[in-house]
Chains A and B, each alone.
Chain A
Amino acid sequence: MKNLITLHSGAAAVAVKDPWELVDTQEGEAAPGASGSAYRILPLSDWRQLSEVAAKRSEATAEPMGVLLHPDDDPADLAPWIDRIALIALEFPSFRDGRAYTQAFVLRSRLGFRGELRAIGDVLRDQLVAMRHCGFSSFAVRGDRSAEDALKGLAGFDLIYARSVACPEPLFRRRLRAGEPGESDQPGT
C-alpha cells in the first residue's frame, strides 16, 4: 500500500515500501494480488472461507495472513486465529465513524492481537493520535492527502486521562508512579 505511515517501537515514519495489498474479491477463491504480491488483505468473509479450506487440509497457509474488518464486523470472530494473523486492517468509511477505535481496543486488549493493526479509509492527520492510542500501528492516509504531512499529527498533543491500549494505565495510576506518595487504598469510602 502507498501513502502509509508505520510505527516501529514508538517512532512513526512514512513507509518506503509496503508489501500489503487490499484484495477486493467477491468470488470466494481469492486470486493473488494484481502485482502478484503474497501479502494480501482479505475481507473477513473471503478470509473466513479461505481459512476454512486451509483448516480442512489441516495445513497452515504459508503466506502471511491479512484480514480487513468493516466497522460492523465483530473482532471476536477472529479469536481462533488471532496468533496467526499478521495484519488486521480496520476501515474508517468516514473519519467521523468511530467504531474502529473500539474494534482496535478489543483486538489488542481483549483478544491479544500482536500483529500489525492498520487504519484504512478516511484516515487523516488530526485523528492519528487517537488511533495510535487505541492500538493502531500503521495508517494508510487517504489518497489525496500527504502521508508526510499527516506524520505531523503524530508528533502533536497526545495526553489523556483515561487508559488506552498504548497507555494501559489511567493517569490516576501514572501520577502515583511519577512519584506521589504511596497509595493508601483501603476498602470502603
Chain B
Amino acid sequence: MYKYDEYDRALVQARVAQFRDQVARRLSGELSEEEFVPLRLQNGLYLQRHAYMLRVAIPYGTLSSVQLRTLGRIAEQYDRGYGHFSTRQNIQFNWIELEQVPDILQLLADQEMHAIQTSGNCVRNITTEAFAGVARDELLDPRPLAEILRQWSTVNPEFLYLPRKFKIAISSSETDRAALRAHDIGLYLYPGDEGEMLLRVMVGGGLGRTPILNEQVREALPWRHLLTYVEAVLRVYNRHGRRDNKYKARIKILVKALGVEAFAREVELEWEQIRDSAGQLTLHEYQRVAQGFRVPDYERLDALDADFGAWLARDAAFARWVQTNTRAHKVAGYSSVVLSTKPAPTADQSTAPGDLAAAQMYSVADLADRYGFGEIRVAHEQNLVLPDIRKRDLYALWKALVSIKLATPNIGLLTDVIACPGGDFCSLASTRSLPVARAIQQRFDNLDYLHDLGEISLNISGCVNACGHHHIGNIGILGVDRKGEEFFQVTLGGAQGKNSSLGKVIGPSFRAEDIPQVIERLLETFVRYREVEEPFIETLGRIGAGPFKESVYSGPDESTNPAQIHTHSRKGEAMA
C-alpha cells in the first residue's frame, strides 16, 4: 500500500486542525449553517434524517488491517457499533455527533486516512476496481495513477467549488469492474505497442436523474499527461458548466449540450496550453508512488493444491463458495476472496447491504494479517475483498468467514443486492430501499435456485439520485414517492463493464410489498426462455423486454402466480 510521507501526513494533520477550528466556530455561532455546509461537506459530513453521517474516504478501495481496525474502533466508540460500505468504496458512519468529528478525523489522520472531499461539489474519492494489482485479466496496475490523482485532486484550490460533484474512476482490466462509463471521467489504462502506459479518457457519464454513459474524448493519451488533461477537463467544466440548476449541473449535461466533439475541442484547446507545463508528470514521481504498490512476497506455489482439491471434493458448501466468492489471481496458487456483506436475513438479524459490525471489522483485519498481506479492498458492490489468499488456506479462511457471517456464497447473484441507505437514513431519499432489499433477500434465500439462475445484478435506489446505481443493474429498482406513498419502478437491461448499458423502465411502478412477486415473475420468464447456461442479461438481449413485461403486467397467470400485483397508474389509482 502507498505509505504517507511527511507531506501527506502534514496535510491531513493540518486539515484536522482546520476543521476543528471550523466546527468550534459553528458551535459558537460564529459560522452560519449556510457558510458551514460546504465546509463540512468537503470533510465528509452530511446532516441526515436522524443524525450527522460521516463518510470516510477509502482511496481506490484499499485498506490496511490497521486502518480497518481504526474504522472498527470509530464504529464502536462514536457510532452504534457498525459502519456502512458505500458504492464509492467509502465507509459511512450514520450516527455521529458534530462535536466529536474532529476527534474522529484525528484518529483517521493518525492512520493515514481522511474524509476530505467525500462530499461537496468537488473531485470525490478516486475509485478503481477491487482486484486492482491482482486480477488475472488486468493489463496494467491502475493504483499508482489513482494515488497520483488522489493527491492532485485533494484541496486543489481551483476546483473546490465546481458546479457539482465530480467522480473519476480508473481501471485496466479486460472486464471493466469499476463502472468507468458511469463516471464524470472514466480512465481506461492500457499498454501501447511498446508497452508504454496509455489512457483512454471518457467524459460526461453519471447516473442520477439523467443517466448518461460517458463518451470518449481522447484515445492513447500518454500517462505523463494524465494530470494536465484532467486539469483541462475540469477547467472547461468549471467555466462553462451550468450553475443555475443543480439537476443540470453535472458535466454530462455540458457534454451533451455542446456535443462530445465540440466539448473535446474545447478541452484540447485548453490542454494544448498546459500540456508541457510543470503539471506534466515525471517518471520519478510515478516510480516514487508505484513503490507503494510493489508486488508482495508471494510464495512460489503450484497452481493446484492437493488439500484444496480434496476439500473441494469433500465439502459441497465450500465448493459452492469457492465457485461464487473467489476470483482468479495473477499469481499461481493464489486467489482473491470476496466477503459478502449480504447474508440472507433471519428472524433476529437483518443487515443492510454493505453494513459491517465493528467485531466483524476486527476479525477481517485479523484474517487479512493471518492469511494475506494485511490488506483489504472494498468493492463498489459493497463487499470486501481479501486480495491475496493462498489456495491452500481457502478452507480455513472459509470456516473463519462462516463463523463471522461473511461467507454467504452469493457474489454476483441475485441477492448480492446493491442498495443505497434509503429513507431509513438519508434525508434526500423519497423511499426506503432497505426493506425492499431485505424482502428480496428473504424471498430468494434458496441457494440452489440462486446458483441455477447464475449472474444477475440487482440494484436499488431510494430516489432519483441513484446512489444504488439502479440504471446499471440488470434489474434496477427505483423508489418514487406518489402523493406520500412509496412506489417502486423497475428497469431491465442495465449493465456495467465493457458492455455498459442503461436499463429501461418496464412500465407503471409497484408497491413495495409486490416487488418480490414482480422479481419472481421476471425470473420465471428468464428461466422459461433461457438457453442453456445463458446469463439473464443475454436472454433479455436476445428476446427483448416484451415477454418480461407481459409476465408482470398482463394479469396474473392463476396457475403459477396467484398473487395480485398492484401497480401505480399515472392517474394515481392502483390497478391490478
List residues of A whose CB falls within 8 A of some B CB: 95-99, 101-103, 105, 110, 124, 126-127, 129-131, 133-134, 156-157, 159-164, 168-173, 175-176, 183-186, 188-189
Contacts and interface: CB of A to CB of B under 8 A. Distances in A.
Contact of B282 (A95, A110, A172, A188): A172
21 contacts: A95-B38, A96-B161, A98-B162, A99-B243, A101-B157, A101-B159, A130-B160, A133-B158, A159-B14, A161-B11, A164-B158, A169-B278, A171-B151, A172-B288, A173-B282, A183-B283, A184-B283, A185-B283, A188-B196, A189-B283, A189-B286
Given A159-B14, A170-B278, A183-B282, A95 B35 contact: yes
Interface stretch (B16-24, B78-86, B533-541): B16-24
Interface string B177-195: 0000000000000000011
Contacts of A157: 14-15, 17-18
A135 B156 CA distance: 13
Interface string B14-43: 110110011000000001000100110000
A176 B5 CA distance: 13
Q: Is the interface of A mostly helix, strand, loop or mixed?
A: loop
Contacts of B227: 162, 170
Contacts of B161: 95-98, 101, 127
A105 B159 CA distance: 11
A159 B162 contact: no
B157 A161 contact: no
Given A134-B158, A157-B18, A159-B7, 15 more contacts: A98-B121, A98-B159, A98-B161, A98-B238, A99-B238, A102-B238, A130-B157, A156-B18, A160-B155, A160-B157, A170-B278, A184-B284, A185-B284, A188-B196, A189-B196
B197 interface: yes
Contacts of A184: 283-284
A189 B286 CA distance: 9
A57 B17 CA distance: 57
B349 interface: no
Interface size grouping (class) on chain B = 35 or more
Contact of A134 (B17, B157, B223): B157
A126 B35 CA distance: 9
Contact of B284 (A134, A164, A171, A176): A176
B485 to A, nearest CB: 35
Contacts of B298: none
A24 to B, nearest CB: 23
A53 B398 CA distance: 82
A164 B7 CA distance: 17
| Residue from B18, B159, B282, B284 whose CB has the most chain A CB atoms within 10 Å | B284
B149 to A, nearest CB: 10
B254 interface: no
Nearest to B238: A102
A74 B349 CA distance: 59
A134 B160 CA distance: 12
B506 interface: no
Contacts of A171: 7, 151
A161 B239 CA distance: 22
Contacts of A161: 7, 11, 151-152, 154-156
B279 interface: yes
B158 A159 contact: no
B165 interface: no
A181 B121 CA distance: 38
A159 B11 contact: yes
Interface string B262-286: 0000000000010001110111111
A131 B161 CA distance: 11
**Minimum-distance CB pairs A-B, first 9:** A98-B161, A133-B157, A172-B285, A130-B157, A157-B14, A161-B151, A162-B156, A183-B284, A157-B18
Nearest to A161: B151
Nearest to B289: A172
A92 to B, nearest CB: 9
B10 interface: yes
A99 B239 contact: yes
Contacts of B194: 188
B25 to A, nearest CB: 9
A18 B168 CA distance: 44
A176 to B, nearest CB: 7
A78 B288 CA distance: 42
Contacts of B38: 95-96
A98 B166 CA distance: 14
Interface in B138-166: 151-162
B195 A189 contact: yes
A168 B239 CA distance: 21
